[in-house]
Amino acid sequence: MTEQAPREVEHEITMSAPAAEVYRHLADVEQWPRLFPPSVYVDRVESSGDDERIRIWATANGQAKNWTSRRRLDPDGLRITFGQEVSAPPVARMSGTWIVEPRGEAESRVRLLHTYRAIDDDPAGLEWIDQAVDRNSRSELAALKANVELAAHSAELTLSFEDSERINGSAKDVYDFINEAQLWTERLPHVFGVSLTEDDPGVQILRMDTSAKDGSTHTTESVRVCFPHHKIAYKQTTLPALMTLHTGFWRFDEGSDGVTTATSQHTVVINTDNIGRILGPDAGVPEARAFLREALGTNSRATLGHAKAFAEARR
């Protein structure tokens, strides 16, 4: 059977930001989960000069996928070429280029090119890829535009913090407690509903119903990427109303003395449109920051406390 020609598509957007600033955001791939809605976690596996090898976990058409890519950075030409080294079915091959074109000192055009094939040139697989590339490209470009244009203002809207607990137990036992989220309704008082699916080992979709200290309840959904027994990274895909972004990780560091330091990290971006409705008409960004720090921190510290009891009981 004759091999069909690869599909070539292009998406573009114009934004009010200098080209160098736009390129900087694109080059910093580890920050992509904060920039792009489909991206869940990115690991820079290798880096040598302007060449790097990365592994990306992202959602596509509502499914969690991961793949390994190689990138070549061209800061002078404001271009980044990429090619998937290991693709996720139904993709057989995928490559492309980010191109940033200056439009004066304060405006840029960004072009995103993709070239791809489906496994066995399957028409259904190709249609799935077409839809995923189109949806993700539009989403990524819109998010890139929003983030770079609001960079100067977004610092006060972004909140990052950590809570840690020293545990007289193994990292494996602490990791197991966090990994086995399907048991959290039995193990965590603030969780009253949970659904966990893991179609691919180490990639979980976790849906939870939780209660806050003020009595409010929230339903969230997250994609989690698990690295036994060291780290679980996540990104919420269904968010409470006060946030437009929530990423984070659980990290487990076991010392030579057998004591494990377990850390919960959060990065959130505040949804200013909902501050008044949730916190009252007189509340502003400072009150929202304080509220989220306390609400998220309280639940994280409670989870770490229960993980501590679980792990220490197994020594």
What average pLDDT does the segment 221-243 reach? Answer: 95
Question: Last residue of a domain, which of 106, 123, 149?
Answer: 149
Instruction: Say if residue 97 is in the same domain as residue 113.
Output: yes
With CA atoms as reference, report the closest residue to 87 among 123, 58, 46, 127. 58
Q: Does residue 3 register a pLDDT over 90?
A: no
Instruction: Say if residue 169 is in the same domain as residue 124.
Output: no
What's the pLDDT at 152?
A: 53
Instruction: Say if residue 165 is in the same domain as residue 305.
Output: yes
Q: What is the pTM of this model?
A: 0.85
pLDDT classification of 155: cutoffs 50, 70, 90: confident
pLDDT classification of 4: cutoffs 50, 70, 90: confident
What's the pLDDT at 200?
A: 85
Instruction: Say if residue 54 is in the same domain as residue 195.
Output: no
What average pLDDT does the segment 178-186 reach? Answer: 97
The model's pLDDT over 278-303, given as tens digits with 9 standing for 90+, comes to 999 999 999 999 999 999 999 999 99
With CA atoms as reference, report the closest residue to 41 among 65, 61, 70. 65
pLDDT classification of 214: cutoffs 50, 70, 90: confident
What total of structural domains would you count in the chain?
2
What's the pLDDT at 153?
A: 57
To the nearest whole number, what is the mean pLDDT of the chain? 92
Instruction: Say if residue 279 is in the same domain as residue 167.
Output: yes
More confident residue, 181 or 139: 181
Q: How many CA atoms lie within 13 A of 35 on its CB side?
A: 22
Residues 6+ apart with CB under 8 A from 61: 128, 131, 132, 135
**101 falls within a domain:** yes
With CA atoms as reference, report the closest residue to 32 among 136, 153, 161. 136
Instruction: Say if residue 51 is in the same domain as residue 183.
Output: no
What's the pLDDT at 53?
A: 96
With CA atoms as reference, report the closest residue to 268 among 293, 232, 233, 303. 293
The CATH code of the domain that includes 297 is: 3.30.530.20
pLDDT classification of 38: cutoffs 50, 70, 90: confident
What's the pLDDT at 315?
A: 82
What average pLDDT does the segment 261-267 reach? Answer: 97
pLDDT classification of 64: cutoffs 50, 70, 90: confident
Question: Last residue of a domain, which of 149, 182, 208?
Answer: 149
The model's pLDDT over 70-106, given as tens digits with 9 standing for 90+, comes to 999 999 999 999 998 988 889 999 999 999 999 988 8
pLDDT classification of 2: cutoffs 50, 70, 90: low
Cis amide bond preceding 11, omega within 30: no
Instruction: Say if residue 132 is in the same domain as residue 164.
Output: no
What's the pLDDT at 36?
A: 86
What average pLDDT does the segment 234-260 reach? Answer: 95
**2 falls within a domain:** no
**35 falls within a domain:** yes
Range of the domain at 130: 7-149
User: Whole-angstrom Cα distance, residue 212 to residue 273?
Assistant: 21
What average pLDDT does the segment 49-69 reach? Answer: 88
Q: Does residue 234 register a pLDDT over 80?
A: yes
More confident residue, 1 or 220: 220
248, 227 contact by CB (below 8 A): no
Q: Does residue 58 register a pLDDT over 60?
A: yes
**53 falls within a domain:** yes
**273 falls within a domain:** yes
Instruction: Say if residue 141 is in the same domain as residue 169.
Output: no
**1 falls within a domain:** no
Residues 6+ apart with CB under 8 A from 158: 267, 268, 269, 270
Instruction: Say if residue 235 is in the same domain as residue 107.
Output: no
**87 falls within a domain:** yes
Instruction: Say if residue 138 is in the same domain as residue 269.
Output: no
Q: Does residue 63 register a pLDDT over 90?
A: no
Residues 6+ apart with CB under 8 A from 180: none
What's the pLDDT at 88?
A: 84
Instruction: Say if residue 176 is in the same domain as residue 296.
Output: yes
Which residues are 222's β-sheet partners?
A: 206, 236
Question: Last residue of a domain, which of 149, 180, 209?
Answer: 149
User: Whole-angstrom Cα distance, residue 156 to residue 149?
Assistant: 15
pLDDT classification of 66: cutoffs 50, 70, 90: confident
What percent of the chain is modeled with pLDDT above 70?
A: 98
User: Whole-angstrom Cα distance, residue 301 to residue 250?
Assistant: 12
Instruction: Say if residue 73 is in the same domain as residue 205.
Output: no
**122 falls within a domain:** yes
What's the pLDDT at 178?
A: 98
